[in-house]
């Protein structure tokens, strides 16, 4: 039905819209509920893999894909 690029663009648009809704409602970003200062610092230093590892340490229930997506989302908000 969708090719991968088109599906990824749709997901990115949905994520941006959801971020706007969360911001408009004044809701704290659910992915920011635990200490992200160290993660943000690693992202700013360009240490994405270490940031993903730390994320998974802070949230042991997070899978690799979920952690990677969370770090990429934070990276987008930081930069």
pLDDT tier at 3, thresholds 50, 70, 90? confident
pTM reported for the whole predicted model = 0.57
Is it the case that residue 66 has pLDDT exceeding 70?
yes
pLDDT at 65 over 90: yes
**pLDDT at residue 44, as a whole number:** 94
Token pair belonging to 50 = 């270490």
- Whether 51 shows a pLDDT value over 90: the answer reads yes
Residue pLDDT, tens place only, 11-39: 889 888 888 888 888 876 655 556 678 99
> Rounded to 5 degrees, what are φ and ψ at 45?
-85, 0
**30 secondary structure, DSSP code:** G
């Amino acid at each position: 039905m969708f090719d991968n690029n088109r599906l990824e663009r749709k997901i990115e648009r949905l994520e941006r819209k959801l971020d706007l809704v969360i911001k408009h409602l004044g809701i704290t970003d659910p992915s920011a509920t635990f200490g992200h200062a160290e993660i943000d610092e690693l992202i700013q230093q360009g240490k994405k893999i270490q940031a993903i590892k730390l994320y998974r340490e802070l949230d042991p229930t997070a899978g690799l894909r979920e952690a990677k997506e969370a770090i990429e989302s934070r990276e987008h908000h930081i930069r």
